[in-house]
Structures are given as C-alpha cells and as structure tokens.
C-alpha cells in the first residue's frame, strides 16, 4: 500500500449506509456520525467539532471561486517517466491507474478564475492523485500559472495539499522546488500578490518551496504542515512528539504563518486581503455574508 493510501484510510472517509438509505460518515476527530448532505452543506467541516475533512479539488474550486469562472489550463500535461522508474509496479502503470481513477491530469489543477469578481490565477492540489505529490507536471503547471499571472497582472493563489516531492521522478521532482521558487521571485518583482493556502497536509518539498513563500500564508485549522514527516522525526530523535506538533496552530505560535482561517471564512479572507493589498475598497460585511451563502 502507498503511503498516501494509508493517510487516506485514516481520514475517516469510510462511507456507510444507514437504515434509511442515507449516507453518513464518521468524523475522524469527534467520532460523531454525520450525514454527508449535512457535511456538504457545511463545506465538509464537522458541524459538531469543526474538524476539516479533506475535500476534493472540484469542491474546493466551487467553494473558493465565483461559480462558473474557473477555466482549467494545461490539462493535457502528462508525465513521461524520464527515469523509467519501477518499484513493485512501474511508475508508468501507476500514472495510468491514477489517471483512470481521477478526472484531473496529475496532482494539481490550475487556471484563472475569479473571487468576488476579482480575477485570480489559482493552483489547486489534488491529494487523491498520488498524494498530491510534486513531479515535473506539477512543477511545470505551477510555473506556467505564475507566468500567466505575471503576463496578465493577476494575483496568485495556491491551495497546497501535498505529501511533498514525487519520488518516482527522482531528482527532477526536487528541481521543481527551485523552478517554482524562481518563478515566484519574478512574480514578486512584478509586485503581484501571492496568497498561499496550506491545507492538510502540506509537507516536504511543497512546504519547503512555494507553499512557504506566500506574501500572506493562511492555513486551515489543524492541518499538518512541516518539512519532515512526523514519523521521520520520531524515528530520528526517538522521542514522542508533543501534542499539536506541526499543526496549523503550532505554526502560528511559532511565527511561521499569518493566520489560521476556518474554511467558511477562507473565501472572504482572501478577497479582503486582495482588496487591502491593492488599496481597493473592501465590500461591507453584509455583502460578504451574502456571498458566503452562495458558495455552498
């Protein structure tokens, strides 16, 4: 089993049927059983304990962007397996399986859209595609998105959800860290805002490159964020890790991110920040609330 399959198993997304035929899920955090319809209405946040379930990329797009504004770019980019990598299975076959399973190409969906009518370039990580791992395609799509943002003078938003670099593309995966960070330096020189959103999990090569380079860095509550995985750290130092270690709130406490933002406030917070950074008027709170109601 793959490490990200293991993570997936732990996220409590095991669906079960009740007698009434309604589908419900058990919350990983409070163990309460929640109707999926209720969960969906609540942006996949547990209504009992606020636990943020991992959400698929299209739900995320629906929640963050104005309806119907997203235009996916570079969808056809497929990794060519330059290393001819093979472990128990060929990487080429893993790619085929992953493509069949999901509707997206590779682990990031990118393109322009708008938030409250404001144009943005966005990258959304898809954790279901090989754990959101970054290989050449992910690096290339992110870099192209940054380049489009510069060309069209648009702000950049990246919603990270990734276990890090993709081992099956070896050193070329590592180099995507440098490639994307270099592109961000050009975005920065163009004085265009970049808001980085960290979701559960954001680790390894993704966290050690563009995810930590936002002008503003926001994180969803209790997301696992860090360079090294907790298991690797535990094995290295042979100690139990403290409660809450490498969670969003821990990063906030250590001055590493700007804010922990509840999923239901994410869209308005991004909008507000973009307005403030561009010295534009911010919508009154009532309008924001109304907009929020529209997202579901």
Partner 1 sequence: MVQILEFEREIFALENQIHELVSMSHMYDSVGDITHEIGKLHKKVRHMKHDVYAKLNGWQKTQVARHPDRPHTLDYIGYIFTDFIELHGDRHGGYGPSVVGGLGKFGDQSVMIIGHQKGRETQEKIHRNFGMSQPAGYRKALRLMKLAQKFRIPIINLIDTPGAYPGIDAEEKGQSEAIATNLFQMIDIDVPIIVTVIGEGGSGGALAIGVGNRVLMFEHSVYSVISPEGCASILWGDKDKVVQAAEALQLTAPSLLKLGVIDEIIREPLGGAHRHHKRTAILLKKALRKNLHDLSRLSPDELVHQRHEKFRKLGEVGFEVGA
Binding residues for partner 1, rule CB under 8 A, total 67
The site partner of 24 among partner 1, Zn ion, none (C-beta below 5 to 8 Å per kind) is none
Asked if 131 interacts with partner 1 (CB under 8 A), we say no
Asked if 238 interacts with partner 1 (CB under 8 A), we say no
Rounded (10°) CA dihedral 133, 136, 139, 142: -100
- Both tokens of 82, joined, read 């330059």
Which residue of 190, 232, 285, 287 would you call a contact of partner 1, by CB under 8 A? 232
Report 41-100 residues binding Zn ion (CB under 5 A). Answer: 46, 48-49, 51
**What residues does 219 pair with on adjacent strands?**
198, 260
Preceding peptide of 289 cis, ω within 30°: no
Nearest Cα to Cα of residue 162 among 183, 146, 145, 177: 177
Report 222-241 residues binding Zn ion (CB under 5 A). Answer: none
Please report the DSSP string for 124-153 in residue order. EE-TTTGGG-B-HHHHHHHHHHHHHHHHTT
Asked if 173 interacts with partner 1 (CB under 8 A), we say yes
With CB under 8 A as the contact rule, which of the stretches 14-22, 46-54, 61-69, 201-209 interacts with partner 1?
Answer: 201-209
Quick note: the x/- pattern for Zn ion over 7-36, rule CB under 5 A, is --------------------x-xx------
CB 85 within 8 A of CB 168: yes
Ordered alpha helix ranges (H), 152-224: 170-189, 204-207
Asked if 140 interacts with partner 1 (CB under 8 A), we say yes
Asked if 107 interacts with partner 1 (CB under 8 A), we say no
CB 180 within 8 A of CB 210: yes
The binding site for partner 1 (CB under 8 A) comprises 1, 3, 76-80, 82-83, 85-88, 105, 135-137, 139-140, 143, 165, 167-179, 181-186, 188, 204-205, 207-213, 225-229, 232-233, 236-237, 239, 241-242, 245-246, 254-256
């Amino acid at each position: 089993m793959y490490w990200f399959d293991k993570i997936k198993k732990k996220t409590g997304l095991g669906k079960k049927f009740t007698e009434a035929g309604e589908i419900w899920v058990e919350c990983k955090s409070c163990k309460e059983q929640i109707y999926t319809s209720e969960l969906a209405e609540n942006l996949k946040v547990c209504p009992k304990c606020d636990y943020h379930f991992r959400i698929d990329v299209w739900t995320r797009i629906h929640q963050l962007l104005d309806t119907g504004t997203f235009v996916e770019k570079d969808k056809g980019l497929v990794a060519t397996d330059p290393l001819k990598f093979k472990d128990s299975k060929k990487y080429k076959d893993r790619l085929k399986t992953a493509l069949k399973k999901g509707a997206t190409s590779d682990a990031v969906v990118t393109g322009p859209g708008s938030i409250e009518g404001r144009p943005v370039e966005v990258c959304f990580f898809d954790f279901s595609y090989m754990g959101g791992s970054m290989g050449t395609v992910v690096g290339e799509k992110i870099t192209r998105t940054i380049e489009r943002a510069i060309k069209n003078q648009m702000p950049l938003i990246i919603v990270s959800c990734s276990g890090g670099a993709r081992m099956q593309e070896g050193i070329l995966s590592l180099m995507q860290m440098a490639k994307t960070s270099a592109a961000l330096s050009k975005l920065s020189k163009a004085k265009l805002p970049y808001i980085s959103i960290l979701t559960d999990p954001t680790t390894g090569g993704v966290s050690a490159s563009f995810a930590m380079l936002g002008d503003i860095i926001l994180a969803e509550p209790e997301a696992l964020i860090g360079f090294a995985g907790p298991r690797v750290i535990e094995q290295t130092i042979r100690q139990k890790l403290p409660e809450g270690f490498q969670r969003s709130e821990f990063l906030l406490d250590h001055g590493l991110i700007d804010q922990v933002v509840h999923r239901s406030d994410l869209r308005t917070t991004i909008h507000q920040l973009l307005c403030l950074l561009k010295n534009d008027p911010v919508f009154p709170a009532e309008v924001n609330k109304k907009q929020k109601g529209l997202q579901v």
